[in-house]
Each structure stands twice: as structure tokens, then as C-alpha cells.
Amino acid sequence: MASPSRPPSCGPGPVPAAPNPAHTPLPAGFGLDPDASTLRLEGDRVLLGGSPLRLLRLQPRAAGLVARWVHGERVADVPAEQLLARRLVTTGLFVPRPPAGGLSPADVTVVVPVRDRPDMLSRLLAAVSPLSTVVVDDDSLDPEPVEAAARAADAAYLRLARHGGPAAARNAGLSGVRTPLVAFLDSDCIPEGGWLEPLLDELADPRVAAVAPRVTADGAELAGRPGPDGRGPGAMRNPVAAWLSSYEAVRSPLDRGARPGLVRPGSRVPFVPTAALVARRAALGEPCFDESLQGGEDVDLVWRLAAAGWDVRYQPAATVRHSARQTPGGWARRRIFYGTTAGPLAERHGTAVAPVSISAWSAASLLLLLARRPLAAGLANGLAVGILARRLRGVVGDPVELAFRIAGTGTLRAGVAALGGLARAWGPAVVLALVPRRTRAVALATLLVPAAADWWSLDPASRPGALGYAVAHAADDVAYGVGVWVGAARRRTLLPLLPQVVVRSRTWAVDVLQRRVTA
């Protein structure tokens, strides 16, 4: 049956997520594993890591608890221990290891927004059976095959009277969900076996509003040109398609990597796509997606949840494959489209969309290097180490050594990250800078250094050819940058283009009582 394109409860603009109580203890029975970025120093009394970077100094009893948790013990039903565990998790220093069980598939309703693509829909519905499922038809051009696919899988079918986009379709499906959890899955996704259980385990933490699986690209389906039936699956491959497929398989924009972590602005995982997301119904509010956004509605939702005090987690132990059935031209247009979302998101979230966040000292050192002033750059970096060492005095036993780890070697890492962010935001200008001889070297470094760093970080067994990867990486960045410029111009904002320079960062020392001391 048909329904209005917007359910009566859905109004324009974002609706804040339901707030989560502050200081929610981590439940007893959880385990804790150090994040891959965490350094444990001075007998576990000093912890350095997280995203953004944090320094915690623990009292002896807390350090003893941390050591026991690292060796496999689980959090006891003791409020002080549970609060300390929560602190370690919310700073990103430790990754929670939830106990199995608790929530079950019966607690989940799957919402699938779809527009045409009945074959893909049938494949997805078969993969999620026997979960309760709602298919929301976003005004398909040929709705009958879509409805037939939904009915054949015993899924509820809801058709919107006019095309409203994925946000409107998900909101419409959410309005009918009665289970405590909802799983959003796009019709061009296919979950792999066992995908749901790790996500349900994460939601055993009452502070977690949503958890996302790893979304990997099915790069083999990138089409060279349409096949005899005019569709991607029967496509004849060509060298360009094969080249982009090998790149897409290891650097899909939906793939957030192999490490679990918190999802929030400024972190290692700043957002996750809602192409695949399991969420707590009570945390979302109604509507949960901003229907005025035709892209970036998933980023907006995650950032609003984080601002309301909820945690959103990324759990790559669960995997969902995403079909990239598009031509090379479609691949480029999709990257441009992703870039255009930065303008609308800047209106809602300000500097969270900044392409680069870097300390003033690191920025000064890098600019001096680019100006071919290596001695001055080294002096600036040395001053940064000295100032930080003074602030760390009394917090750690060897403040100079730790300051060098943070500020000294950190400048190099910050430089690579800054080049990558600037290449994506300023791609069109970087291409223009390739023409004059004076700026060509800097422009090439901006495009190729981040590509080389990304390529080197890949699993050697899955690395594509270095040259082909670098060219595809540069094309990806430039296409995205074109979109950023278009989106910024439409919204008349420069925020997606402006680096965020942190003039004074903070180093925190935190004791077991959670008392915060500014260094």
C-alpha cells in the first residue's frame, strides 16, 4: 500500500537524540583490551593514547586494576572499578570486550530503504532471514518487482508516495519499529555470516546508542560498461574498471578499517555509514535522520548522538559487503557527491568538518619545512618538545623522553595527516598548482605522500600496485575536493576548507577519583 512520503511524526530539520545519563558505569563482566595506540608506561601508572591523544596518570590501586584487566580479568561488580573502566573506554585508551549473550536477534527489526534494484533486495532479504524486516520503497520507478521481492521474503512493505531520499525512507521505516533495536541495511549490502552477534554484544553496554560493522567494497563488481541487459552485474570489464576495482577493494569510503573504536568527531573513526548500522531505538528519537540532507545524514546522526552523551562504536568483527556496481564515471561522481556533504554538515557541526586539525607548533614546523628552512623547523619542533616537557614535569618520571614521543615524532605523523586532509579539501587547487614549476614539487608531495603512507599501511598480501594505487588515491582526493568546493559554495561557507589550528593543547593527568589536573 502507499503512504505519505513523510510520516506525520517527522518534521523538518534535525531532532536531538535522547540524552544519555552521564557517568554510566561500564557493566560488570566486561573485559578490557588496550587500544593499539595506547602506551602503558611506568608500570601501568601512566597511559598515553586515545583519539584525540590523552595522558592519564593513575594511583597505584587503579594501576593494579588496569594490569589485571590487561591480563584477562573482567570488570567486577564494584562501582569504583566500573567507573574507572568507563573512563578508560570513553577516552579511547581501552577497547571494551563485552560478554556474549544478553540481546538476541528477536530484539532486532531490520529497516531496508530501497529504490528499484529488486535483485539486490532479494539477495539481502535472504541473508537477513528470519529477522523481522521492513522494506521501505522510496518511490521506485517500477515498484511491482520490489514489492514482490519483499512479499516473497515475508517482509513488511511500505511504499512512499514520492521520492524523499534515504533519510526519509529510514525515518518512515523506523516509525513502525517496536523492537528495542533497529538495524539499518541498504539494499546494495550483503551481511556475512555471524554479522549480527558482535554488534548485539556491544549494545550490552547501556551507554552505546549504535554500533557499526565493517563495510567492505565488493570491488569485483565495479563495471567497465553496461552488459547486454544494461546492468552492472553483466558488465564487460575494461582496464580502467579493473584498476579502480583493485583500489576500491582496499580503500572504500565506507570501510573504516580493521581496528575497533569509538566513533566521534576528531577521533580515528570520525563517522560510520548507515548503510549498515544497528542502533538502540530509545536513543534515536523520531525522526532520527535529518531529511533535508540528501547526503551526510549518517554523519549528522552519529555526531548528534555523540553530542548528546551517547557512545557509538565501530566493530569490524562484523562484516557487511557493499556492492560497487557502477561505471568509472559513476565512481568519480559518487566521490564528488560525498564531498558536497561537507557544506551542509558545516552548518550543523561547525569545525568538526575541518579538513585538518593540527597543533600550532606542528603547523609552524611543517610550514618552515615547506619554505625550505629546515633549521628553523627543527628549532620550532625543539621548542615544542621543551615546552611540553615542562608541563609534564611531575606527571611522569622522564618528561623529556615522553615529550619527544608526543611532540617530536608527532610532527611527522601530523604532517602526513595534514597533507592528506588538505589534498581532499583543496584537490582542485592542488591540481592547478601542478602547472607552475615553483609549486609543482609541493603539489606532488600533497598528492603522493598521503597515498604512499596509505599504501604502506595496507596488508602486504592485499596491496595493489604502488603506482596504480597512488594515481587512484590522487583521483579520489581530487574528486572529493571538487565536491567540497561545490558544497561549500552552495552553502556559502569556508569551514570545510579551513584547517583547525590548535594554539594550546592540553595534557591531562587523571587519578583514580577522576580528578582532572591541567598540566
Report the range of poorest mean pLDDT among 155-169, 216-230, 342-356, 431-445: 216-230
CATH code of the domain in which 302 resides: 3.90.550.10
Q: Are residues 396 and 284 in the same domain?
A: no
Q: Are residues 231 and 120 in the same domain?
A: yes
Structural domain including 68 reads 31-97
For range 31-47, the mean pLDDT: 89
| pLDDT given for residue 15 in this prediction | 56
Q: Are residues 302 and 364 in the same domain?
A: no
Q: Are residues 118 and 41 in the same domain?
A: no
CA dihedral 19, 24, 29, 34 (to 10 degrees): 90
Q: Are residues 294 and 366 in the same domain?
A: no
349: Cβ contacts below 8 Å, ≥ 6 apart: 265, 300, 303
Using alpha carbons, list the distances in angstroms from residue 268 to 257, 261, 276, 424, 434: 10, 8, 19, 17, 30
Q: Would you list the DSSP string of 38-63?
A: -EEETTTTEEEETTTTEEEE--HHHH
For range 276-305, the mean pLDDT: 91
Residue 413 inside a domain? The answer is yes
Cell numbers given for 61 = 590501586
Q: Are residues 263 and 308 in the same domain?
A: yes
Q: Are residues 72 and 115 in the same domain?
A: no
Q: Are residues 460 and 433 in the same domain?
A: yes
| pLDDT given for residue 235 in this prediction | 43
Q: Specify the higher pLDDT residue, 510 or 265.
A: 265
Cis peptide before 496 (omega within 30 of 0): no
Percent of the residues in the chain that have a pLDDT greater than 70, as a whole number: 89
Residue 157 inside a domain? The answer is yes
Q: What pTM does this model have?
A: 0.88
Q: Are residues 218 and 247 in the same domain?
A: yes
pLDDT at 11 over 50: no
* 147-174 pLDDT tens trace: 999 999 999 999 998 998 999 999 999 9
Pairwise CA distance, residues 392 & 388, whole Å = 6
Q: Are residues 87 and 121 in the same domain?
A: no
Q: Are residues 298 and 176 in the same domain?
A: yes
pLDDT at 407 over 70: yes
Residue with cell 549528522: 300
* 190-209 pLDDT tens trace: 999 899 999 999 999 999 99
Residue 236 inside a domain? The answer is yes
* 44-73 pLDDT tens trace: 888 988 877 888 888 889 999 999 999 999
CB < 8 Å & 24+ apart, contacts of 38-44: 38/93, 38/94, 39/405, 40/66, 40/70, 41/396, 41/402, 42/396, 42/397, 43/67, 44/70
pLDDT at 226 over 70: no
Structural domain tally of the chain?
3
In the listed set 305, 326, 347, which residue is the last one of a domain according to the structure?
Answer: 326
**Could you tell me whether strands 276-280 and 189-191 are parallel, antiparallel, or unpaired per DSSP bridges?**
unpaired
Cell numbers given for 502 = 590548535
Q: Are residues 165 and 292 in the same domain?
A: yes
